[in-house]
Amino acid sequence: MISRPRSLCTNTARYAYYTRSFRLSEPIISQPITTPLDQVNVGFNIWSGKSVETMAWDQLEGVVHFETGGIQHSLVLGVEGGREGSSPEFDNSAGVPTVPLLSPDPNRPFVGTTFPRLIANTIGWSFAAYALDTVKIGEQWEISGGIRWDYFRTHYQARRYSTTSFGTITGLDNAVRTDEQPDYRAAIVYKPLTNGSVYFDYGTSFNPSAESLTQITTARGLGINNVDLAPEENETFEFGTKWTCSTACFR
């Protein structure tokens, strides 16, 4: 016999827009080590850039409580998905003057010619559907089982520029990657007393190589060597116990 279900449905929508800019100075000393310190001049390798990050996401989730043959169920059903974007620009600078090692001016204005080294744009589309049922048997046992299916697709494009002929495009990158697969979760909980439990949990998950919305593997070399890597797959096993105690326990 199935009891009349009680349900609750929620929807969460999110939008985010972030900007950032940066400039890093890497000191360089090319003079011999025997050069007197008051004659040493420090050069700079300037690495700078900016980016725009965006996200639009929506999650619809419902919880249904019902009973079958004296067994209580809490069933969670949901779908979520959205679009993410990342548009970074990496620049270099030339003609930056040197400064004396022993008497640098921390307030000197930046002087140099800044030029693009790489301008990229990555768009990611995600979708997931999931279900998790928690069954309560009597007052001491709970068993959970669930499945989640994820779809993740990215499109990475970039223009590479010469470091000697400023503004000249030397190469184009264009990479599309799609990852989709199911993940599972199961758990069993035993409550020997009302204030304590012993549990075992098992779950799987995966991390796509482009989940951070960048196929750039090294900022200095600006390589995309991991663009075709399969997702990193994970398995989790957890065994433990939880207990609660009122203030009376410590008297």
pLDDT of residue 3: 62
Phi-psi region of 76 (alpha: psi -120 to 50; beta: other; left: phi over 0): beta
Asked whether the predicted pLDDT for residue 143 surpasses 60, the reply is: yes
Q: What does 51-113 look like in DSSP terms, one character per residue?
A: EEEEEEEEEEEEEEEEEETTEEEEEEEEEEEEEEEEEEEEEEEE-PPPEESSS--TTPPP-SE
What is the pLDDT, as a whole number, of residue 70?
81
How far is residue 238's CA from residue 240's CA, in Å, rounded to a whole number?
7
Q: Is the pLDDT of residue 131 over 80?
A: yes
Convert the pLDDT of each residue in 88-119 to its tens digit. 999 999 999 999 999 999 888 888 899 999 99
- DSSP 8-state class, residue 229: P
**pLDDT > 90? residue 18:** yes
Predicted local distance difference test score (pLDDT) of residue 218:
62
Segment 169-187 shows an average pLDDT of 93
Give the tens place of pLDDT for each residue, 23-63.
998 999 999 999 999 999 999 999 899 999 999 999 999 99
Answer whether residue 6 shows pLDDT above 90.
no
Reported pTM:
0.80
**Over 80: is that where the pLDDT of 162 sits?**
yes
pLDDT in tens, 191-245: 998 889 999 999 999 998 887 777 776 655 666 777 778 899 999 999 999 998 8
- The whole-chain average pLDDT of the chain stands at 90
CATH number for region 6-16+58-88+115-250: 2.40.160
Whether pLDDT at 5 is above 60: yes
- 224 vs 16 pLDDT, higher one: 16
pLDDT value at residue 226: 72
Position 163 scores a pLDDT of 86
